[in-house]
């Protein structure tokens, strides 16, 4: 086994756009597990737009601090255990961050039964699939025949949101950042329509593709797109607030959308924020249902896997610029 | 009976602040009920901040148009009926607008059993009491020991919201526009604290008076106060969106609050808009409960009654400037 550990640290917090100069790579000695602790090896590192939000200060977790190992969700394998509940070879979810090895207390690890491929534990059965499943079904509550709009529709959660929306009988309209993504959503994933927000006015696109208005909006982006959607929501519509990626990679987040709270009142809208882990008590049955849809060919899994921990900085930056189709992750080893 | 009908019409829609020049008074012939129709006499006219929002365009109802009788909710008495279901003397709720007499079809009238005084049908048992009751209990869902904040707290709905919050075991903090109102809220109505937003920074006042954060916010105002509250909401907090009065009396509504949707996500907040009539299926039992609280001395009713239809314009303008304590209405006759 390696005698050193590779880490990527935040050299300096970004004041505006994130770039590679904000990261640095270092080799440190292998950590050693103490009494009751476990040494894990990172197999896959999840890259998520929220990683950038963590650099803006406290969110639902501690903020990222300069000089620290960059935070991140990982899928890891136990290599050495000083605790009876865990054995070498066990696969666990944890937040080891951007490094090859880490020592954890057992309570920081979630042991999982692997379904499908290992990487599937970060996509369909992991944070992106579960975010889509719970956010859409618990907060969006789509009904057969309703119109569902999802932003960042080609992203990790968004593509599942649209696919689940189709399974639930909705008209599904995606918003994404390129014609190639839009074509992928409609041609490969079965979306009814897709709007390229970089070349089309979103309000105009929505008016064209949502002739009966919008009943459910799964919002990954906030900002101007949320504002445009608000004006076309139907009475009693639901907005699942999953993220605000339009506001993450900046030092100067914009004001909120016009129409808040005026349109929320007159249209009796519900906007509900959520974090996927709030629903993990129901994760097993959600995974069973997702597995069934996958087996029946109703759901496609798209993963964007990049090899090599050293590529994590440019891969996260690329994700913030909308490079990825589906769930982006780093195969660490 | 009078042979003419007094009406107040919107002479011109306001482009910015509403003033008395936007209204004019006229005498027109008495309307005559046709087959199946009913002639009603306005007893009380409800004045509501929403009246001003109706002048900004379509909301949950048709907009107010220049040259028309000003819209308004009324408590009226049937004086002549060509329909078997209604008889002279019956008291009805309707939207006759700012006039002494009106002809309606029966479906436009809601016959009511009068509880307490006639004016109580517009306060505790009418739109303000019911707005407070349903908005707080259905959308705010306060629990014993939680902290509730309400804006426009000395207003028609706000004062009931705070009183019901106390009955439900909450710490209640009101936001209002004068020291006199604040003293009334704490000394007469039992609020735990009140913040004068004209002399105190709301964020600072909330930090002082809500040491455990805010669980429920009943929002009557939107704008900067909503923004200040958002930053101090607790995890899983609920915001009942009742109105946005800060944005009504202007031709240029401001952008939405910062923190939407970012704080909604990270704090898992729910913002829910409502209109009181959505809950009218449950109105009887709500009125029963309010009557019980009133009888037990747990709830006070404060009405701000102004005599004379001709005073409606200045009374609405005054309401928009925060003159009223409790429910403002016009006693028409």
Q: Is A282 within the bounds of a domain?
A: no
Q: Is A168 within the bounds of a domain?
A: yes
- Looking at the fold, whether A70 and A203 belong to one and the same domain comes out as no
Terminal alpha carbon distance of chain A: 12
**B265 and A257: CB-CB below 8 Å?**
no
**From the candidates B261, B264, B267, B275, which should be mutated to test the interface with A, based on the most A CB atoms within 10 A?**
B261
* Residues B31/B56, Cβ–Cβ less than 8 Å: no
Backbone angles phi, psi at B71, to 5 degrees: -75, 150
| CATH value at residue B31 | 3.90.180.10
* Residues A109/A96, Cβ–Cβ less than 8 Å: no
- Looking at the fold, whether B165 and B38 belong to one and the same domain comes out as no
User: Which residues contact residue A250 at a Cβ distance below 8 angstroms, ignoring those fewer than 6 apart?
Assistant: A16, A17
**B272 and A269: CB-CB below 8 Å?**
yes
Residue among A53, A261, A273 minimizing CB distance to B244: A261
Closest CA to B262 of A242, A47, A228: A242
In tens, the pLDDT along B292-315 reads 999 999 999 999 999 999 999 999
- CA atoms of A56 and A320, how far apart (whole Å): 14
- CA atoms of B111 and B107, how far apart (whole Å): 10
**From the candidates A54, A254, A256, which should be mutated to test the interface with B, based on the most B CB atoms within 10 A?**
A256
**A260 and B264: CB-CB below 8 Å?**
no
| Neighboring chain B residues of A252 at a CB cutoff of 8 Å | none
**From the candidates B220, B244, B273, B274, which should be mutated to test the interface with A, based on the most A CB atoms within 10 A?**
B273
**From the candidates A226, A261, A266, which should be mutated to test the interface with B, based on the most B CB atoms within 10 A?**
A261
Distance from CA of A181 to the nearest CA of B (A): 25
**A278 and B262: CB-CB below 8 Å?**
no
Separation in Å, CA A226 to CA A209, B58, B139:
16, 21, 22
**B257 and A260: CB-CB below 8 Å?**
yes
Q: What is the pLDDT of residue A249?
A: 84
**B270 and A273: CB-CB below 8 Å?**
yes
Residue A210 predicted with pLDDT over 90: yes
In a 3-state reduction of DSSP, which class is residue A48?
Answer: coil
Number of A/B CB contacts below 8 angstroms equals 123
- Looking at the fold, whether A246 and A141 belong to one and the same domain comes out as yes
The complex's ipTM works out to 0.90
Distance from CA of A215 to the nearest CA of B (A): 15
| Neighboring chain B residues of A260 at a CB cutoff of 8 Å | 222, 226, 256-257, 260, 271
In tens, the pLDDT along B78-109 reads 999 999 999 999 999 999 999 999 999 999 99
In a 3-state reduction of DSSP, which class is residue B13?
Answer: coil
Beta strands B91-94 and A147-151, pairing class? unpaired
β strands within chain A, DSSP E: 4-10, 23-29, 38-46, 74-81, 91-94, 101-104, 110-111, 147-151, 171-176, 193-196, 214-219, 233-241, 270-273, 303-307, 327-331
Q: Can you tell me the mean pLDDT for B127-140?
A: 97
Residue A246 predicted with pLDDT over 80: yes
- Looking at the fold, whether B134 and B108 belong to one and the same domain comes out as no
- Looking at the fold, whether A115 and A134 belong to one and the same domain comes out as no
In a 3-state reduction of DSSP, which class is residue A102?
Answer: strand
| Neighboring chain A residues of B53 at a CB cutoff of 8 Å | 262
* Residues A148/A238, Cβ–Cβ less than 8 Å: no
Question: Chain-wide mean pLDDT for chain B?
Answer: 96
* Residues A158/A150, Cβ–Cβ less than 8 Å: yes
- Looking at the fold, whether B113 and B138 belong to one and the same domain comes out as no
More reliable by pLDDT, B59 or A311: A311
pTM for the structure as a whole:
0.93
Closest CA to A150 of A91, A195, A99: A195
Q: Is B283 within the bounds of a domain?
A: no
* Residues B147/B214, Cβ–Cβ less than 8 Å: yes
- CA atoms of B65 and B103, how far apart (whole Å): 20
User: Which residues contact residue B24 at a Cβ distance below 8 angstroms, ignoring those fewer than 6 apart?
Assistant: B8, B9, B11
**B255 and A256: CB-CB below 8 Å?**
yes
- If you ran DSSP here, which 8-state letter would residue B70 be given? P
The H-assigned helical ranges of chain A are 50-53, 127-134, 158-167, 179-183, 202-209, 223-230, 262-266, 283-295, 312-320
- Looking at the fold, whether A23 and A102 belong to one and the same domain comes out as yes
| Neighboring chain B residues of A269 at a CB cutoff of 8 Å | 271-273
Q: What is the pLDDT of residue B329?
A: 98
DSSP secondary structure, B108-148, as one string: G-EE----SSGGGGTTTTSHHHHHHHHIIIIII---TT-EE
Q: Can you tell me the mean pLDDT for B54-72?
A: 88
H/E element, B150: strand B147-151
- Looking at the fold, whether A132 and A221 belong to one and the same domain comes out as yes
CA B33, chain centre distance (Å): 30
Which residues of chain B are at the A interface, by a Cβ-Cβ cutoff of 8 Å? 53, 59-60, 219, 222, 226-227, 239, 241-244, 247, 253-275, 278
Task: For the beta carbon of residue B244, count every other beta carbon within 10 angstroms.
Answer: 27
Diameter over CA atoms, chain B: 63
| Neighboring chain B residues of A272 at a CB cutoff of 8 Å | 264, 268-271
In tens, the pLDDT along B170-190 reads 999 999 999 999 999 999 999
In tens, the pLDDT along A111-168 reads 999 999 999 999 999 999 999 999 999 999 999 999 999 999 999 999 999 999 999 9
Closest CA to B223 of B259, B263, B195: B259
Q: Is B222 left (phi over 0), alpha (psi -120 to 50) or beta?
A: left
In tens, the pLDDT along A29-79 reads 999 999 999 999 999 999 999 999 999 886 778 889 999 999 999 999 999
Separation in Å, CA A9 to CA A13, A69, A277, B124:
10, 4, 26, 61
Question: Chain-wide mean pLDDT for chain A?
Answer: 96
Minimum mean pLDDT among B58-67, B84-93, B105-114: which range?
Answer: B58-67
- Looking at the fold, whether B143 and B83 belong to one and the same domain comes out as no
Counting Cβ atoms within 10 Å, is residue A207 exposed (0-12), middle (13-18) or buried (19+)? middle
**From the candidates B57, B256, B279, which should be mutated to test the interface with A, based on the most A CB atoms within 10 A?**
B256
Domain count, chain A: 2
Residue A1 predicted with pLDDT over 70: no
CA B199, chain centre distance (Å): 25
Q: Can you tell me the mean pLDDT for A203-207?
A: 98
**A227 and B270: CB-CB below 8 Å?**
no
Q: Can you tell me the mean pLDDT for A182-205?
A: 98
**B272 and A274: CB-CB below 8 Å?**
no
Range of the domain at B189: 127-277
In tens, the pLDDT along B216-231 reads 999 999 999 999 999 9
The H-assigned helical ranges of chain B are 50-53, 127-134, 158-167, 179-183, 202-209, 223-230, 262-266, 283-295, 312-320
* Residues A195/A207, Cβ–Cβ less than 8 Å: no
- Looking at the fold, whether B8 and B89 belong to one and the same domain comes out as yes
Domain boundary among A260, A277, A294: A277
Q: Is A54 within the bounds of a domain?
A: yes
Total residue count of chain A as it appears in this document: 333
In a 3-state reduction of DSSP, which class is residue A271?
Answer: strand
Q: Is A285 within the bounds of a domain?
A: no
* Residues A147/A210, Cβ–Cβ less than 8 Å: yes
Q: What is the pLDDT of residue A248?
A: 85
- Looking at the fold, whether B254 and B198 belong to one and the same domain comes out as yes
Q: Is A187 within the bounds of a domain?
A: yes
Which residues of chain A are at the B interface, by a Cβ-Cβ cutoff of 8 Å? 53, 59-60, 219, 222, 226-227, 239, 241-244, 247, 253-275, 278
Q: Is A58 within the bounds of a domain?
A: yes
> What percentage of chain B carries pLDDT values higher than 70?
99
Prior bond to B261 cis, omega within 30? yes
Backbone angles phi, psi at A308, to 5 degrees: 105, 115
- Looking at the fold, whether A260 and A215 belong to one and the same domain comes out as yes
For chain A, the 3-state helix, strand and coil shares in percent, each to the nearest 5, are 30, 25, 40
Domain boundary among B262, B277, B292: B277
| CATH value at residue B176 | 3.40.50.720
- CA atoms of B140 and B146, how far apart (whole Å): 11
Q: Is B290 within the bounds of a domain?
A: no
């Amino acid at each position: 086994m390696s005698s050193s550990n590779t880490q990527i640290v935040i050299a300096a917090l970004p004041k505006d756009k994130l770039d590679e100069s904000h990261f640095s790579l270092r080799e440190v000695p292998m950590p050693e597990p103490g009494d009751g602790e476990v040494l894990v090896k990172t197999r896959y590192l999840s890259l998520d737009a929220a990683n950038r939000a963590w650099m803006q200060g406290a969110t639902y977790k501690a903020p990222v601090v300069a000089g620290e190992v960059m935070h991140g969700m990982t899928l890891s394998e136990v290599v050495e255990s000083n605790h009876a509940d865990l054995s070498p070879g066990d696969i666990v979810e944890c937040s080891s961050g951007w490094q090859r090895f880490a020592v954890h207390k057992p309570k920081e690890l979630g042991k999982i039964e692997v379904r499908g491929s290992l990487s599937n534990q970060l996509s369909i059965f992991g944070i992106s699939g579960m975010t889509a499943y719970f956010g859409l079904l618990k907060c969006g509550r789509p009904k057969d025949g309703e119109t569902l709009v999802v932003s960042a529709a080609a992203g990790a959660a968004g593509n599942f949101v649209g696919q689940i929306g189709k399974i639930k009988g909705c008209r599904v309209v995606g918003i994404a950042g390129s014609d190639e993504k839009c074509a992928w959503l409609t041609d490969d994933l079965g979306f009814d329509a897709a709007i390229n927000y970089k070349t089309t006015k979103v309000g105009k696109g929505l008016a064209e593709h949502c002739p009966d208005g919008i009943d459910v909006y799964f919002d990954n982006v906030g900002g101007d797109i949320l504002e445009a959607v608000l004006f076309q929501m139907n009475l009693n519509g639901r907005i699942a607030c999953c993220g605000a990626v339009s506001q993450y990679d900046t030092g100067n987040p914009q004001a909120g959308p016009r129409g808040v709270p005026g349109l929320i009142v007159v249209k009796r809208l519900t906007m509900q924020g959520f974090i996927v882990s709030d629903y993990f008590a129901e994760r097993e049955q959600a995974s069973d249902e997702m597995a069934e849809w996958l087996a029946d060919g109703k759901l496609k899994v798209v993963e964007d896997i990049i090899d090599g921990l050293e590529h994590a900085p440019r891969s996260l930056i690329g994700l913030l610029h909308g490079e990825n189709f589906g769930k982006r992750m780093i195969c660490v080893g």
